[in-house]
Amino acid sequence: MTGEFAAFFILSLLTIGGAVFMISFTRVVHMVISLGVTFISIAGLFVLLGAEFVGVAQVLVYSGAISILMLFGIMLTKHDAQDEGTGRKWKNRFILLFVAGLFGLLFWGIQNTPWPAPPPPVASSVSNAKEIGLEVFTKYVIPFELLSVLLLVALVGAIIMAKKEGDNE
């Protein structure tokens, strides 16, 4: 068992566990925290796959911006402080049994599948981020610049609409 396999196994468990906890919790703050754990562990899986740029973008965009936006939404809305349960213990046990059976079936299928050997790694001195930058700024420079203009127009439009709403009050 290599360190890469152990890291993959731990990150996979964190990803699946965070997703399951996200749909299982009843408090919104706990849901956001488990969603953040899921996003960060997915970023770790991207890093293991050699896509460092995508992993960093995952952390910045999803784990940072989306989670913070959800927390602001929670803080700005009104919630009850009490935590109500589902009241269906038999249903929860059935779901747990079903998920455990599905996990066992998938684990058995993965272990008994003859996987082909991976190709040998290609020695490359160019980094992943550099390759993405070269692609974006050579082949796709026009769509990239049009996207930046579109985002600028959307930002100015949002400011104008917010200013008009503030003047009416």
For the record, the structure tokens of 104 come out as: 């066992």
**pTM value > 0.85:** no
- Same domain assignment for residues 94 and 135: no
Identify the residue with better confidence: 4 or 127.
4
pLDDT at 167 over 70: no
For the record, the structure tokens of 8 come out as: 């993959």
Sign of CA dihedral 9, 44, 2, 113: positive
Identify the residue with better confidence: 161 or 122.
161
pLDDT tens, position by position, 97-150: 998 999 899 989 989 999 888 877 776 666 778 888 888 888 989 998 999 899
pLDDT band with cut points at 50, 70 and 90 for residue 162: confident
- Same domain assignment for residues 72 and 137: no
pLDDT at 68 over 80: no
Closest CA to 11 of 40, 51, 52, 32: 40
d(CA 167, CA 169): 6
Has residue 158 been placed in a domain? yes
pLDDT at 101: 94
pLDDT at 164 over 90: no
Buried b (16+ CB within 10 A) or exposed e, 2-33: eeeeeeeeebeebbeebbebbeebeeeeebbb
| Region at 87 (left for phi over 0; alpha for psi -120 to 50; beta for the rest) | left
Question: In terms of residues, how long is the chain?
Answer: 169
- Same domain assignment for residues 97 and 153: no
pLDDT at 150: 93
Q: What is the mean pLDDT of residues 151-161?
A: 87
Place of tokens 């684990």: 107
- Name the domain count of the chain: 2
Has residue 116 been placed in a domain? no
Report CA 110 to chain centroid distance, whole Å.
24
pLDDT tens, position by position, 25-66: 887 778 888 888 999 999 999 999 888 888 988 888 887 777
Identify the residue with better confidence: 152 or 162.
152
- Same domain assignment for residues 50 and 84: yes
Has residue 27 been placed in a domain? yes
- Same domain assignment for residues 89 and 134: no
pLDDT at 14: 94
pLDDT at 15: 94
Tell me the CATH number at 61.
1.20.120.1200
pLDDT at 95: 82
Q: What is the mean pLDDT of residues 8-30?
A: 89
Domain with 167, as residue range(s), is 127-169
Has residue 63 been placed in a domain? yes
Has residue 117 been placed in a domain? no
